[in-house]
Copies of this chain bind each other. A is one copy, B any other.
Amino acid sequence: MASKPSIPKGTRDFSPTEVAKRQYIMQIIKSNFEKFGFQPIETPSFENSDTLMGKYGEEGDRLIFKILNSGDYLAKANATHLESKDSTKLTASISEKALRYDLTVPFARYVVQHQNDIEFPFKRYQIQPVWRADRPQKGRFREFFQCDADVVGSTSLWQEVELVQLYDSVFTTLGLNGVTIKINNRKILSGIAEVIGASDKLIDFTVALDKLDKIGEDGVKKEMIEKGITADAIEKVQPLFQFTGTISEKIEQLSQLLASSDEGMKGVAELRFICDNVAKLNLATAILDLDVTLARGLNYYTGAIFEVAAPKTVAMGSIGGGGRYDDLTGIFGLKNMSGVGISFGLDRIYLVVEELNLFPETVTVSTKALFINYGDTEALYAMQAIKDLRAAGIKVELYPDSAKMAKQFQHADRRNIPFAVIAGEKEIEANNYALKNLSTGEQVQVSFEELKAKLL
């Protein structure tokens, strides 16, 4: 093979440093998931196509990676579609499996398939890669990890309270202070639609309203009218154009605005429960804020809607999101299974933590000391110490070859190894070791016990 090998576009190799940093974030997410009582599950990388197809809309269907059937797949191919060269239609007869597109649909499938073995309410977390045949671009990949926590089998709003706390706990542990957890409620949105008398214009309405900061009240109203929302309707929700104050004050305004809508008032009550209890319990560093324009996955969520924005100093889209859905498992035939969940955007969190310089320096230190190799006799002496140090949990290495000193020290330097241990003839004689601090250059002769103590 002449040309240098490469990887498919939209995919990534991760170097030791990158893996260490990613694992650092994932470990914090995982340990917080577990502190909050979530249990891990894992599902296969590929699912039967009929489990995935039709669950993400037409665009989603196109972006799902399909796996070609093994063996003589053309033997079973649909002759008509083959003849007419209809790629889309042919797929079903030459591909039975597809790579998972998210963790939510496989989770729903898991719950239905194992419903008799699951103890409900079921709090599960899942940290696994997903694949999408999206056009790759900056920050958008064809393979990326999702980190999801969901509870199914209870409608209790305490779970929403806990999910807000969970976000706060993870971002606080990461040192990522000042994230904004935006909250809204599908029922508030329905209430607004009812009040403006235009359910079909809801998305247009929220999209326009979301631009308030950018284009001002007049600009927003102009856009709304262009989209066919009447001046009369806009008049009815005028308070939303001066929607400021504390969360409690905002909720108060909503309760007046939506007084005529049963659904809207349910949303107000839910929001009030969640926000009041979060306030009573205090968040460590995150800010909870009500955002009535928040409408992610509108057709999917039925109650609370969450989205997390990075601290204002960092230009970055949402770093997490989630909400309540009342019929997750209905698509697989299990009705009345309410769920609520949140997701962490690993890649974006990584970029934010990197930009704010929040990775601890120790994350990229793996090996603590490199033993210099002076030949087989000395190496055996070194290996005896190495063995006992490793047994004590200390990460140490022998340079495998008795290469030139400079080369061995350079290796330690390039590997970011903080100490070198010199164990030559003199040290063997004295039954000790020379420990060299590679950043200060300081070198001391130490016994094995002292060596161990210094490297622990």
Chain A interfacial positions (CB closer than 8 Å to B): 1-8, 11-16, 19-20, 23, 34-37, 39-48, 50-51, 62-63, 65-68, 70-75, 77, 82, 85-88, 90-91, 94-97, 99, 109-110, 112-114, 117, 119, 121, 123-124, 129, 131, 133, 143, 151, 154-156, 158-159, 161-162, 165, 169, 277, 280-281, 331-333, 366-367, 373, 379-380, 383-384, 387, 390-391, 393-398, 400-401, 411, 414-415
Contacts and interface: CB of A to CB of B under 8 A. Distances in A.
A22 B124 CA distance: 16
Given A43-B13, A121-B400, A366-B37, A66 B68 contact: yes
A14 B42 contact: yes
A385 to B, nearest CB: 11
Nearest to A388: B281
A161 B387 CA distance: 11
A142 B1 CA distance: 29
A45 B20 CA distance: 19
Contacts of A387: 165, 281
Given A4-B332, A19-B39, A156-B401, 4 more contacts: A1-B333, A5-B112, A19-B41, A158-B398
A331 B5 CA distance: 10
State the main secondary structure of chain A at its contact with B: mixed
A394 B74 contact: no
Given A75-B85, A277-B380, A11 B44 contact: yes
Instruction: Report how many copies the assembly holds.
Output: 2
A4 B113 contact: yes
Contacts of A90: 74
Given A5-B51, A400-B154, A42 B66 contact: no
B14 A41 contact: yes
A19 B40 contact: yes
Contact of A40 (B20, B151, B415): B20
B5 A332 contact: yes
Given A121-B400, A383-B281, A70 B367 contact: no
A71 B90 CA distance: 12
Nearest to A19: B40
Contacts of A112: 4-5
Given A8-B97, A14-B42, A366-B34, A87 B71 contact: yes
B332 A1 contact: yes
B40 A395 contact: no
B37 A96 contact: no
Contacts of A393: 35
A62 B70 contact: yes
Contacts of A14: 41-43
B8 A281 contact: no
